[in-house]
Amino acid sequence: MSKKNRSGVVYSTNPDFQYQSDDQPGAQTLPPAQQNLKIWLVKLGGSKVVTAVRGFIGTDADLSELGKQLKAACGAGGSSKDDEILIQGDHRDKVLTWLTSKGYKAKKAGG
């Protein structure tokens, strides 16, 4: 018997029991033309402002790669986590033009 994580299944009295794994196949990254990205301006604590890109569907590696490219294009720092990209400062226009030039469907959101 393999030593996989069985999620609490220790013993079953059912002779036809088959263990069902909860492992989901990895998320596939959609091509840029099918992505529907929204660009938000978010104010964090006091006077700090960040540009948030939300709506990316894909793997964490592709999200961080896109975040790295956007940060380089804006010349600013930021982070990529929790299915969103945060870029320090108000760079909505730069992000929008960069994403549309790369073939992404993107638009500004929020007030």
Distance in angstroms (rounded) separating the CA atoms of residues 48 and 18: 53
Is the pLDDT confidence value at 24 over 80?
no
Q: Which pLDDT score, from 0 to 100, does residue 56 have?
A: 94
Digit-coded pLDDT (tens) for 66-106: 999 999 999 999 999 888 999 999 999 999 999 999 999 99
Band (110; pLDDT cuts 50, 70, 90): confident
What does the domain layout of the chain look like in residue ranges?
32-108
Angstrom distances, CA of residue 107 to CA of 16, 51, 80, 83, 104:
53, 13, 19, 17, 10
- Average pLDDT of the segment spanning 7-14: 70
Digit-coded pLDDT (tens) for 26-51: 568 889 999 999 999 999 888 899 99
CATH class of the domain comprising 32-108 = alpha beta
Minimal CA–CA distance to 76: which of 89, 63, 58, 62? 89
Distance in angstroms (rounded) separating the CA atoms of residues 96 and 87: 13
